[in-house]
Chains A and B, each alone.
Chain A
């Protein structure tokens, strides 16, 4: 699993509150990703990072922002959470040599 951890693992929050999810890797991968998983949609890319302070949008980026100040940490922020952002969020880190991605255990976020 390339040492990918996510925190928190579960969170319940209210509509309109800010939320930050953290992803930490220990393998020094340059690329990191945030996906969300929803029933019937598989996993969809939110944002990704190709280096410290270098990020780009994915398919479902509206309402989300990311930051990467260190190689090992990739943060996902919901500035003002909405019920449509209730989901399971997965972080991944990627190897440029093999194109494989290693996934964290996921964070289950519920917005009430």
Chain B
């Protein structure tokens, strides 16, 4: 079955620094990939998605992600992190029944 792995459980970055969150997928064909963000005590908000075409996708809040088939990766990036970006980030892939198979998440801490 299609699955994703997020290797980093926690990441700490300084405010203003760049950010990259890793996501590796397991699927033979082109996967449908998503990044969601969850602020503390909140639901999930879609940041961006990739289905096909341009491998660099832009999302909301200044985030982008790049699909790399050769590395089976879909890493999330942001050039300059703000304190409000502190949250849990989930990578997900569409699986059977159009459901989402989520990674275990990466918790982002932003320091002053």
Contact = CB atoms under 8 A, between A and B. Distances in A.
Interface stretch (A14-22, A63-71, A74-82, A96-104): A96-104
Contacts of B9: 40
A96 B99 CA distance: 11
B43 A96 contact: no
B71 to A, nearest CB: 21
Contact of A40 (B32, B44, B98, B104): B104
A106 B100 CA distance: 16
Given A56-B97, A103-B44, A42 B32 contact: no
User: Main SS of chain A's interface residues?
Assistant: strand
Interface in B41-81: 42-44, 46, 49, 51
Contacts of B99: 33, 45, 48, 58, 94
Contacts of B90: 42-43
Interface residues of A, number: 26
A101 B52 CA distance: 18
A45 B101 contact: yes
B46 A99 contact: no
Interface residues of B, number: 20
Interface in A34-55: 35, 40-45, 48, 50
Interface of A: 1, 31, 33, 35, 40-45, 48, 50, 56, 58, 90, 92, 94, 96, 98-101, 103-106
Given A31-B98, A45-B101, A96-B98, 17 more contacts: A31-B97, A41-B104, A42-B90, A42-B104, A43-B44, A43-B102, A44-B102, A48-B99, A58-B99, A90-B43, A98-B49, A99-B32, A99-B49, A99-B94, A103-B43, A104-B43, A105-B42
* Shortest Cβ-Cβ A-B pairs, 10 listed: A42-B102, A42-B104, A103-B44, A43-B102, A103-B43, A105-B43, A42-B105, A45-B99, A48-B97, A99-B32
